[in-house]
Amino acid sequence: MKQKKTITEIFKEKTRNPQRIRSSDVINSIFSDITYFKSKDQALISGSGFINKKEILFMGQEKPKGNDLAYANKVNFGMMKPEGYRQVVELLEYAETNNLPVITFVDTPGADPSSESAKRLQSWAISDCISKFCEVKTPTISLILGEGGSGGALALQVTDKRLIMEDAMYYTIAPESCGAIIFRDNTKIEESLTLLRPTSKDMIYFGICDEIVKEPNDIEDYSGYIRSIKTALTKAVLEVTKYDIDRIIERRRKKVLGYGVLKKQSFFSQVVDFFHRSDTAQVSRKSRVKIIEAQELSDSLERAYLESKNMDITKPHVLCEKKDGRGCGNYIPLDEYQKNFKSCPICGKGESLMSDEWIDILCDRNTFTEFNSKITAREMLNKEDLTAEYLETLNSMEIKTGCGESISTGVAKIDKYRAVLVISNFNFIGGSMGSAMGEKFYRAVQFCITNRLPLISVCSSGGARMQEGTLSLMQMAKTNMALGILKEAGLPFISIMTHPSTGGALASFATQGTINIGEKNALICFAGPRVTQLAGIKVDPEVTIADYVASIHGLDELSSRCEMKQRVAKYLKFFYETAKKKNSK
């Protein structure tokens, strides 16, 4: 009988044990007649083989074993790069064509966050991978073998049958990073794991996984591991292959779109509640940059500089500070800065804005009508799943922002063209993705389909919300699944990436636009500077700026805030004129 261990002991002694069984061990032991495919990423093993005479296409993330540093570097510590995720999409297409069930082995601390991967659009590759798993027309099975780290793991886990090893863990962010961000101490592993709720039992409770695969007591009892895994996978293959593909996709959609809906919904959240939101600010919109008054100017250089530019030094200015690759270093008259919607008219660098401010920028005056405003984390989750600290945070955010969640959804007119909008509010827990956010996004898509309207999102997010554990990570799959349904309906999605667009939001819905528009000089990156710094990884600031992302074709076009409305209206006009021509035939 196993001795009961703390979550930290399991994490250190089992989940991250360097001798833990790896994907290559499992693949070589449970499949027969294996044919390996040439890998474009050493962290990915792929090929085909047989389980009980049934041919299967397999993919596995390979973490290093033991203390072999050379091999660890070869497989990049199990962190896949964009080439690997793009190969996964190709393999899924191959499986569709050849009617092969797919099994994936998930084992990674996360996706590669390096500058080189950023240059090859890591977030776009992960998002495409998630979307392909959502729609692939063949049965799929996943097994979380050891460590399921963030979007890098989710990209191979959105499957029809989801298994997890007994001592494996699946989390939104590594516990060290969670500790540093939430508790200001990266050594608080126990507190972080308790908050993240990443265990196999948690995954069953939240409906993220379907079944736990038992583990032997001895971490090096590979025969014991193989027996359990082969039995579980053999059963899973029989289960998922008994349905026709339409039924498989129907079940998959229901599962993914239900992520985060743990609580029986009240009457108010079941209806689309409409109320008109005034263009007048409901909360303070005080600028967060330092305003430089005339008396604060130094006697020499700053004053001389402003005078040389024929600026009125008696009026307040702001400095477009150069930092992390953003900003031009110019002084801007405060009134000009505010007229430009809190952004520099020279380089485009701006502050993160509240949802009300983006409504002012994009929508015709007094046309935005919000719906589903009553959907909040409190409405979605059970009371026992909300800590006292999280409830306090939610309450303070509502007071601070005037919003109940990190996005506002509604219908409005943009240059007289109707559209549905999903607008992030970075001031609400960093615009983070939680269960309510995913549900509101999905309902906005449903509204689009019912009313034949285009969808526009304004992304300003720090990623998935740690306080809701792995459920927040699942919103990446939920939003992409919803967008796949929107695409099926023949409706366009205009994605606007503003400052900042990072993490799970960027690696899911934000990059799936029919048209992707980036805000000039905005921070757009897979892992934000704070996260990479905590991990000791240096990322070139230049590759995290929208202007660079546009240069490598991650964006269709760039726009300043003042021009954003006319850019969006251009695409709406094209949609409505095209629809009119189709209807007239």
| Residue 425: CB atoms within 10 Å | 27
- Predicted pLDDT at 423: 97
Residue 245 · residue 343 · CB < 8 Å: no
- Predicted pLDDT at 325: 82
Quote the DSSP letter at residue 510.
G
* Closest to 122 (Cα-Cα) out of 527, 550, 539: 527
Helix (H, G, I), strand (E, B) or coil at 369: strand
Structure token digits, residue 114 = 């390096």
Residue 462 · residue 432 · CB < 8 Å: yes
pLDDT at 289 over 70: no
Structure token digits, residue 347 = 């380089």
Structure token digits, residue 168 = 């494996």
pLDDT band (50, 70, 90) for residue 280: very low
pLDDT at 86 over 60: yes
First to last CA, the chain: 73
Which amino acid does the sequence have at 293?
Answer: E
pLDDT at 358 over 80: yes
- Predicted pLDDT at 4: 80
* Closest to 226 (Cα-Cα) out of 169, 170, 165: 165
Which amino acid does the sequence have at 251?
Answer: R
Structure token digits, residue 364 = 């015709």
- Predicted pLDDT at 186: 85
Buried b / exposed e along 53-83 (16+ C-beta atoms within 10 A): eeebbbbbbbbbbeeeeeebeebbbbbbbbb
pLDDT at 20 over 70: yes
Strand pairing of 455-461 and 493-502?
Answer: parallel
Helix (H, G, I), strand (E, B) or coil at 80: coil
pLDDT band (50, 70, 90) for residue 266: low
- Predicted pLDDT at 269: 63
What is the pLDDT of the chain when averaged over all its residues? 91
pLDDT at 268 over 70: no
For 331, the enclosing helix (H) or strand (E) is strand 331-333
Strand pairing of 211-213 and 161-165?
Answer: parallel
Residue 113 · residue 539 · CB < 8 Å: yes
Mean pLDDT lowest among 44-58, 234-248, 353-367, 516-530: 516-530
Those residues with Cβ within 8 angstroms of residue 61's Cβ, 6 or more apart along the chain or in another chain: 23, 43, 44, 45, 78, 80, 105, 106, 107, 108, 152, 153, 156
Residue 164 · residue 200 · CB < 8 Å: yes
Buried b / exposed e along 320-332 (16+ C-beta atoms within 10 A): beeeebbbeebbb
Which amino acid does the sequence have at 574?
Answer: F
